[in-house]
């Protein structure tokens, strides 16, 4: 009976998760087409981001990214929680929708669905919050 309980406990535990690395996403970035290829009518795109911890105890991290026609059309941004596992913010759909609709601005909010850290993987989500504003300018 004790062997059965131990086996059941092992099976119910989540598999260990590798800690985050600095190279996550680099292959996708290298493989991504350019902004000019994906959105030929777009002249420039800028993303202003504010990332905040779920407890709001620390000041938000402010980040700006700028994309021209030769930039890679890769809009997946890392979570600012340095211990986050499998998290981040993918704004590809928001950018595509804004360009398709011909908008000059788009705003939104995302919550990181990665894991808080390697020890909490499978148990507690990261929940860092991203507020963003996308600015788009088009070719004449």
Q: What is the DSSP string of 109-128?
A: EEE--SBSSTTTTTT-B---
Asked if pLDDT for residue 27 goes beyond 70, the answer is no
Q: What is the mean pLDDT of residues 9-34?
A: 56
Q: DSSP secondary-structure letter at 85?
A: B
Give the range of the structural domain holding residue 129, as residue numbers without chain letter. 34-138
Residue 8 lies in a domain: no
Residue 76 lies in a domain: yes
Per-residue pLDDT tens for 90-138?
999 999 999 999 999 999 999 999 998 888 788 888 898 999 999 999 9
pTM over 0.85: no
Spatial separation of the C-alpha atoms in residues 120 and 64, rounded to whole Å = 30
Q: How far is CA 15 from the centre of its chain?
A: 23
| 3-state SS class at 138 | strand
CA angle 118, 78, 47 (to 5 degrees): 160
Q: DSSP secondary-structure letter at 110?
A: E
pLDDT for 25 equals 54
Residue 14 lies in a domain: no
Asked if pLDDT for residue 14 goes beyond 80, the answer is no
Residue 109 lies in a domain: yes
Work out how many domains the chain is built from and give that number. Answer: 1
Per-residue pLDDT tens for 113-125?
999 888 878 888 8
Residue 17 lies in a domain: no
């Amino acid at each position: 009976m004790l062997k059965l309980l131990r086996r059941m406990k092992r099976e119910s535990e989540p598999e260990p998760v590798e800690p985050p690395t600095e190279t996550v996403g680099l292959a996708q970035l290298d493989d991504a087409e350019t902004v000019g290829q994906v959105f030929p009518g777009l002249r420039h795109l800028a993303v202003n981001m504010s990332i905040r911890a779920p407890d709001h105890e620390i000041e938000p991290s402010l980040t700006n990214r700028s994309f021209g026609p030769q930039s890679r059309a890769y809009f997946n941004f890392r979570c600012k929680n340095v211990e986050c596992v499998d998290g981040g913010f993918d704004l590809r759909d928001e950018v595509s929708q804004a360009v398709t609709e011909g908008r000059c601005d788009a705003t939104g909010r995302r919550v990181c669905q990665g894991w808080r850290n390697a020890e909490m993987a499978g148990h507690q989500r990261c929940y860092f919050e991203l507020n963003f504003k996308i600015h788009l300018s088009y070719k004449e």
